[in-house]
Structure 1
């Protein structure tokens, strides 16, 4: 008599986790990322911040919005940096409207002092440029076009930084790439409802190097420390030089950022 087949063993059910996707900064997501980065359970996070666990869950799910003083408890409890704390409060506040690139450029044309300053720096062989809050290139002088060949054609410093040419120009590229991502998160947090921000993020998301940094880090950057020097390789000669970068925010009717670079000293020869 034929024996019945043994019952099939069912494979254990595996929970499929959704793949992280690039998204514009929002406060609930940022709070969850901060807690995850510190490897805190919600219970421990509750004890650290003196905020109830159910309320923390609602904050991370976006079902409740904290008061500024509640957010300050999280800032202190998680030990956030000054930049992270500022970013969190900007995400709590209403998003700012973002002007289009054409209006920024018109403002530059109507403000000769700004364009004259760019020209003056160029005559002193100082690379300089104006950017909007999302790193779109508004104007550059000749030394900057020589220092960063192809930047004007790309039209955006963040996109340019994740092109192969930037990795060739900057031997310490990963460090500067981290700053670029942190700076862009700060900008997109302020203008998070702007259509330009979503388009830019989709474009940058095509770069695995960018996507990894965007998803894995909670670093936020506003200012470049002038004491931090960048190693830059001259595209014409191959010589490496130390460069100090100066950043200035211009807030007269339009928020623009000016970057200027000062070559300090020669490091080595080509090759």
Structure 2
């Protein structure tokens, strides 16, 4: 039986998700009263009521974290639930994933998908420019740079990069500019200071960082790389996209290099 369309007036029952609505859903799922949640978090029951009704639009991080901890204590919040709660509050998840955690998130299916890009190089990097996974073509072009290694350390610290990257200056400048942009889009913290401290030992990195250039790499860049076997330069339309993952939003990026035939 085909369901008949609802009257126009019923359309108002379908509304966008809200922080308050999700908070109430999570609380109801755990069968915890507003009064009990208030007692555990140190908030008033009336404040929680205001949150659930949408009368407090922008809760602070400390409020959201206290609510999440309390709900998690009753029944574990999934990473998706926690992310959605923070997203609806207009906040980031400040947890900084390790390279190992991000590599675990690259499933066998995603790895098989990389091989479908052959003969084009393709792979995944994190927002710190650590290589998470790549296909055989990319691995050959990067002279078997191991997964988990940092591309910026390779670019600035490995002499082979100057040979592989015909347009080294362009590639290095783009890499530094996109790193600066990503540092404004994901939670700052010790990871950024530690990475910059490591990279600061390379004079060329300091020079390019000092230029203050920002680039979100939303458009492709044509770069020339040298084939490993023949040493022949090939033009590559290099593209990078942010991967929206429920586990680690903002941390994973996909890259592909499309070989130019002309």
Task: Using structure 2 for the length normalisation, give the TM-score.
Answer: 0.58
Structure 1 equivalent of residue 120 of structure 2: 126
1:98 to 70, 93, 96: 96
The alpha-carbon deviation at position 241 of structure 1 amounts to 1.1
Q: How many Å apart are 1:192 and its aligned residue? A: 5.3
User: Displacement, 1:153?
Assistant: 6.5
Q: Aligned equivalents of 1:140 and 1:94: distance in 2?
A: 28
How is 1:1-271 mapped onto 2 (pairs within 5 angstroms)? 96-109=94-107, 112-121=108-117, 124-152=118-146, 155-162=149-156, 163-191=158-186, 193-215=188-210, 217-223=211-217, 225-226=219-220, 228-253=221-246, 254=248, 255=250, 256-265=252-261
Q: Distance in 1 between matches of 2:132 and 2:147?
A: 12
SS in 2 for 1:252: coil
Once residues 193 and 131 of structure 1 are traced to their aligned partners in structure 2, the CA distance between those partners, rounded to angstroms, is: 18
1:203 Cα deviation after fit: 1.5
Q: CA deviation at 1:259?
A: 0.6
Q: Structure 2: where are the runs of 5+ without partners?
A: 1-90
Question: SS in structure 1 opposite 2:179?
Answer: helix
TM-score, with structure 1 as normaliser: 0.56
Q: Secondary structure at the match of 1:242?
A: strand
1:78 matched to which residue of 2? none
Contact map agreement 2:241 2:254 (CA 8 A) in 1: yes
**Alpha-carbon distance in structure 1 between the residues aligned to 2:233 and 2:115:** 25
Residues in 1 aligned to 2:105 and 2:98: alpha-carbon distance in whole angstroms: 11
CA contact (8 A) 1:191 1:197 kept: no
- The Cα of 1:97 is off from its aligned counterpart by 3.5
Residues 220 and 264 of structure 1, relative CA distance in 2, 3 Å threshold: same
CA contact (8 A) 1:243 1:263 kept: yes
Structure 1 residue matching 2:207: 3-state secondary structure: helix
Whether the 8 Å CA contact 1:247–1:257 is kept in 2: the answer is yes
Over the aligned positions, Cα root-mean-square deviation in angstroms equals 2.2
8 Å CA contact retained: 1:95, 1:193: no
